[in-house]
A and B are shown apart, each in its own frame.
Chain A
Amino acid sequence: MFSGFMVNAWIVATLVAVVGGAVGFFIVMRGAAFVAHAIPNGSFAGAAGASLLGVSTLLGLGVFSVGGALGIGLLGRRGRRDVATAMALVFMLGLGALFLSFKVEYADSAFSLLFGEVLGVSTSELWPTVGLTVVCLLALATLWRPLLLASVLPESTQGFSPFRIEVAFLLLVALATTMTVPVVGTTLIFSLMIGPPAAARALTTKPGVAIALSTVIAVAISWGAIALSYNTNWPIGFFVGALSASAYTVARLLQSWAQKV
């Protein structure tokens, strides 16, 4: 379980969990779960398109996740954000269905993109992930104060326009998506960006503690999911989803127990 190709899986899953847990904190703060679902899920079309054109999957994912983020930002400027998100998402997925139909043999890779195949990570896929993790964490550190302030008190943005902060946030989600989807699939990253931070927020109100706790829970979930997936051969996406939901349930129970005591 810890030898050969599995080493890559452990490293990548840890990196993905760290990014997912950290970025997810802001997703939960901003109530942007739909966006966190839409950008990774829609970007799958980019991977399908890239495979059709014969270019790098990472490039396709990058173009579609950034395009999706900007589309949601622009469409959401007027009218409801959830409608804008839904429209951007289904349009990207519709394109994905089209690309998929052009290439019949692609159906199996569609499954691994949607639901993840972390056990098959090669060393050449490892380095882009490491690089993007560093970029993602640096971006998060830079945006920390304005993003936190805008998420807690949307009114006092201290000279930053809310639209620019929203777009910066969406691009951060897009970046996290691009690095994680090719290795772990869209389901897994969504669960990691929602479950752990939601659990952490139920346990503490301090932002610094919450983001650290969220990262720790995310790493624990992804390690547990790898071990379970390795032993049962069931898709890792299932275990991440189930463990995330369990973590949130336990945190909520602890929260209500603490309130009673």
Chain B
Amino acid sequence: MTTQSHRTRTITTITGSEAVSSVLHAIVEPGFFSSSAVELAAVLGGVVAIVAACVGVFTVIRGQSFAGEALGDIGAAGGSSAYLVGIGPVWGFVGLSLAASAVMELIGVQRARGRDLATGIVLGAGFGLAALFLYLGTLDGSTTGTIPTILFGSIFAISSSNLPIVLGLGGLAIATIVVLYRPLLLASTSPELAAARGVPVRVIGAAYLFAMAVAVALSALTIGAILSTALLVGPAAAALRLTSRPHRAILLAAAIGLACTWLGLLLAWDSYYWPHRGWPVSSFVVALVLMSYLLADLWDRLRERRRSTH
């Protein structure tokens, strides 16, 4: 690798701007900002993180994390069926997530406990389908390595042809949230009041479920089907610990999600020089998301304690 020579050069001629870059190189392994794969991953990952976080704030407010998780796992069936049929994985993720959200909406009962069961039944059946499609995929032989890719993602390997699709679908999900913002917020926080005011709670709920299916599918594309909930729920839950105002929480969640994704990309790039070279991006992103949630929780707890002592 050219790294070694690069490093010795930065160490021997430390003057002015070189000093800055040598400090930078201690944190960022060389090549991070010049790689086109990183550039694409940063753009894709960034867009997906923002979309997932914005949609996720309502997932947390509505208590639908389980539905999000289920849609992601069913997306695994979609991703693997896409390989079987020979279409882009993003269409598989989106297609089956949308289908699953429609089934959930159809059999979903309005009570929270009934919803829990309906989600569980759909998830069980969907996971069964994933097992079947992944198995048929392995029989195919040509798809070595697709199982880890579908389940855990590989953001550096996404082709640039996906960018317009991701931008389009992400824009659609955000647009749904923006258009429905007020009625959705009311229907999420107090469904009875919303119904009394003539808000079509069920229709809004269904529209939101579809937006969530799209966000989860996009998230599955970057960090993997079974980890996709991390970007949906984590940043949003952390943001809602820090502020109770929904629009502020959405902005904060988007910032947290973006930071976790980009930092995860950076660490994964650096990890090429660690033992077991090349750690997965998804693991870093998930660990960072959990950390930001725990920190937000801690901050919230300290603030509460300060308030009670005063």
B276 in contact (CB, < 8 A): yes
A34 in contact (CB, < 8 A): yes
Which chain B residue shows the least CB distance to A95?
A: B283
Is there contact, CB below 8 Å, between B124 and A82? no
**In the docked arrangement, what's the CA distance between A37 and B71, Å?**
13
Question: B226: which of A41, A101, A240 is its contact (CB, 8 Å)?
Answer: A41
Question: A101: which of B124, B130, B279, B297 is its contact (CB, 8 Å)?
Answer: B279
A34-B152 contact, Cβ under 8 Å, with A83-B237, A245-B124 = no
A86-B131 contact, Cβ under 8 Å, with A33-B120, A37-B66, A194-B124 = no
Is there contact, CB below 8 Å, between A78 and B151? no
B293 in contact (CB, < 8 A): yes
A33-B147 contact, Cβ under 8 Å, with A94-B227, A94-B230, A94-B283 = no
**In the docked arrangement, what's the CA distance between A254 and B179, Å?**
41
A91-B131 contact, Cβ under 8 Å, with A37-B123, A194-B121 = no
Is there contact, CB below 8 Å, between B119 and A97? no
**In the docked arrangement, what's the CA distance between A242 and B65, Å?**
23
**In the docked arrangement, what's the CA distance between A86 and B121, Å?**
18
Chain A residues, Cβ within 8 Å of B28: none
Chain B residues, Cβ within 8 Å of A96: 152
Is there contact, CB below 8 Å, between B68 and A115? no
Chain B's interface: helix, strand, loop or mixed, by majority? Answer: helix
Give the interface segment out of B7-15, B29-37, B109-117.
Answer: B109-117
Is there contact, CB below 8 Å, between B279 and A98? yes
Contact with B along A56-92 (1 / 0, CB 8 A): 0000000000000000000000111011011101110
Q: Can you list 12 contacts pairing A with B, beta carbon distance less than 8 Å?
A: A28-B117, A33-B120, A34-B116, A38-B69, A86-B69, A94-B282, A96-B152, A191-B127, A238-B129, A238-B132, A241-B126, A241-B127
Q: Add 11 more A-B contacts to A89-B229, A115-B134, A244-B124 (CB < 8 A).
A: A33-B123, A80-B60, A90-B227, A90-B234, A97-B148, A101-B283, A187-B124, A191-B125, A194-B121, A235-B135, A244-B121
Q: Which residues of B contact A (CB under 8 A)?
A: 60, 63-66, 68-70, 112-113, 116-117, 119-132, 134-135, 138, 145, 147-148, 151-152, 224, 226-227, 229-230, 233-234, 237, 241, 276, 278-280, 282-283, 285-287, 289-290, 293, 297, 301
